[in-house]
Amino acid sequence: MDNRDEVREFLTSRRAKITPERAGLPAGSRRRVPGLRRSEVAALADMSVEYYAKLERGNLAGVSPAVLEAVARVLQLDDAERAHLLHLAQAADGSDALTRPRRRTTRQWTPHRSLQWTLDAITAGPAFVRNGRMDILAANRLARAFYADIHADPRNQANLARFNFLDPASRRFYPDWELFADMAVAILRAEAGRDPHDKDLHDLVGELSTRSEEFRTRWGAHDVRRHGTGTKRFHHPAVGEVTLAFEGLEMAAEPGLTLTIYTAEPGSPSEERLRLLASWAATEEADASTRHSTG
């Protein structure tokens, strides 16, 4: 995850996505690149070709916000991509350590009691806290039951990305597996830009790249995204298919952590299946408690 390599590959991949037509330029007949030429990006951003070429070689140290904004405008970056470019520039300056609160690793963080109380108070839908590496760090009862497949295999280490790419059960759990795979990699890629010195993230990316061609291909695309709100389909082994809306909330008191809450449309079959899942989870928990007390 060398920062210069990341910058170079990110800018190159974004430039390849912008056709001349999208940029308002004539297409021409002798183009050897899939997107804009460096000279075209430079002209549209009002800078010299030499200077833009320097940026695309990965040299973002000392680059002004105005220049970054010009590049983002020409490359038509969305909000997540703009933020990623800014994070890459901060890392190149060495300013990320000064401007960002220290992100906690999994081993350094334990949910405080009031947070667990808050999670447990959410009873109508799964609620959990994850970090940027997609480790599930805390959850309510319904989330533990919802992600039973992930916790069933200790090799997943309660990590959503590891489950997605290395556990065959994910293909059943995620009916839209390709969408979830794209999303997982985009979240990890954004986290790598925010925190390029996270050794646990380096190790996770290395493991997934080695063991999964699907991950390796997506990682090379350099796509990033925000994971704030939307709707997803799941197929739970105990209750079947559910369609759930989700909200992802950044935790102000715990920088780098996200609280995600899933809910079903009121009166829908998915809401009824969540109720069944809650009942199933309570029964499983009671049975486990009985086995423990009599064991």
193 and 286 both lie in a single domain: yes
pLDDT of residue 127: 97
pLDDT of residue 197: 86
Q: Could you tell me the residue range of the domain that residue 267 belongs to?
A: 106-294
58 and 133 both lie in a single domain: no
More confident residue, 95 or 102: 95
Rounded CA separation 168/228 (Å): 27
Length of the chain in terms of residues written: 295
Mean pLDDT of 45-74: 96
83 and 135 both lie in a single domain: no
199 and 235 both lie in a single domain: yes
Structure tokens at 124: 């109508």
CATH number reported for the structural domain that contains residue 265 in this entry: 3.30.450.180
Mean pLDDT (the chain, rounded)? 90
10 and 124 both lie in a single domain: no
Which among 70, 99, 128 is the end of a domain?
99
> Is 176:230 a contact under the CB 8 Å cutoff?
no
Rounded CA separation 25/82 (Å): 23
Mean pLDDT of 280-293: 72
pLDDT band per the 50, 70, 90 thresholds, residue 99: very low
Angle at 190 between CA 59 and CA 127, to 5 degrees: 165
279 and 167 both lie in a single domain: yes
As a whole-number percent, the residues of the chain with pLDDT over 70 amount to 91
pLDDT band per the 50, 70, 90 thresholds, residue 97: very low
23 and 40 both lie in a single domain: yes
Displacement of CA 41 from its chain's centroid (Å):
28
187 and 247 both lie in a single domain: yes
CATH number reported for the structural domain that contains residue 20 in this entry: 1.10.260.40
Rounded CA separation 268/8 (Å): 47
190 and 55 both lie in a single domain: no
pLDDT of residue 291: 65
pLDDT of residue 293: 63
Rounded CA separation 234/224 (Å): 23
pLDDT per residue as tens digits for the range 100-120: 444 444 545 788 899 999 999
Angle at 72 between CA 71 and CA 77, to 5 degrees: 145
Structure tokens at 220: 């090379």
Mean pLDDT of 11-31: 88
Which among 34, 65, 99 is the end of a domain?
99
149 and 83 both lie in a single domain: no
| Plot region of 222 (φ>0 → left; ψ -120 to 50 → alpha; else → beta) | left
pLDDT per residue as tens digits for the range 182-213: 999 999 999 999 888 899 999 999 999 999 99
Structure tokens at 133: 């590496």
Mean pLDDT of 85-113: 69
pLDDT per residue as tens digits for the range 133-185: 999 999 999 999 999 999 999 999 999 999 999 999 999 999 999 999 999 99
23 and 81 both lie in a single domain: yes
Q: How many domains does the chain have?
A: 2
pLDDT of residue 265: 97
287 pLDDT exceeds 80?
no
**pTM score, whole prediction:** 0.86
Which among 32, 66, 99 is the end of a domain?
99
Helices 177-194 and 199-211, axial angle in degrees (round to 10): 150
pLDDT of residue 284: 76
162 and 220 both lie in a single domain: yes
